[in-house]
Amino acid sequence: MPYPLIIICGPSGVGKTVMIRRLLHDIPALQPTVTYTTRAQRKGAKAAEDKIMRFISPAEFRTRIRQRQFLEWALVHGHYYYGTPQKELERRRSRGPVILNIEVQGTQIVKRKIPDAHTIFILPTPRALYLRRLKKIRADDPNLAERIRDIHRELKQAPTFDYRIYNHEGKLQQTYRALKKQVKNIIDKN
């Protein structure tokens, strides 16, 4: 029987990536999945992204779609493809618990294909303050309006997740502790 698959989801800028990096550090048995994407590599994030991101061209991504290499894939914010390679995920799950950082649409697909996957949604609160902060830090993002539309759509899906954790503004450490506790509970039950 494979080890648990734990999916972390939440809107852009809610702190998922920071918390997942800490989980991977604090829970040595936990493994990240690899994600393929057509977006450009972020400046200053090379070392961390190299472990979990594979940057490929849109043509190569579409070839992998046709070859059915992805467990799930999506066109995110209308511009970049992201996908989870099926064989890589299976290989990692045979060795230990796996954490997957994907968006709502991908979570729904994975849950249909792997019903025993555990889903956790990180919710921002208060929402108005979160949106103001997101608009400020992403002010030069040409896709900001699309991101905000996506955020509203994603937040409506939060009740469909197995677990919901609230990231109160300015309380990332508290949120992380709650997330870590939930992830450990999932691993310990399996």
Which SS3 state, helix, strand or coil, does residue 25 take? helix
Which SS3 state, helix, strand or coil, does residue 104 take? helix
Confidence of residue 149 (pLDDT cuts 50, 70, 90): confident
What pLDDT is stored for residue 45 in this prediction?
60
Per-domain boundaries in the chain: 5-189
Which SS3 state, helix, strand or coil, does residue 184 take? helix
pLDDT tens digits along 100-111: 999 888 999 999
pTM (2 d.p.): 0.87
- What is the DSSP secondary structure assignment for residue 126, as one 8-state letter? S
What pLDDT is stored for residue 145 in this prediction?
76
Higher-confidence residue of 148 and 4: namely 4
What pLDDT is stored for residue 29 in this prediction?
94
Full 3-state SS string of 39-103: CCCCCCCHHHHHHHEEECCHHHHHHHHHCCCEEEEEEECCCEEEEEEHHHHHHHHCCCCEEEECC
Provide the edge-to-edge strand list for the sheet that holds 70-76. 53-55, 35-37, 80-85, 70-76
Q: Report the percentage of the chain scoring pLDDT > 90.
A: 58
Question: If you count them, how many residues does the chain have?
Answer: 190
What pLDDT is stored for residue 32 in this prediction?
93
What pLDDT is stored for residue 137 in this prediction?
66
State yes or no: pLDDT of 93 exceeds 70.
yes
Q: Are 7 and 119 in contact (CB under 8 A)?
A: yes
CATH class name, domain 5-189: alpha beta
Q: Report the percentage of the chain scoring pLDDT > 70.
A: 89
Which SS3 state, helix, strand or coil, does residue 161 take? coil
What pLDDT is stored for residue 13 in this prediction?
78
pLDDT tens digits along 35-88: 999 988 877 665 455 668 899 999 999 999 999 999 999 988 778 899 999 999
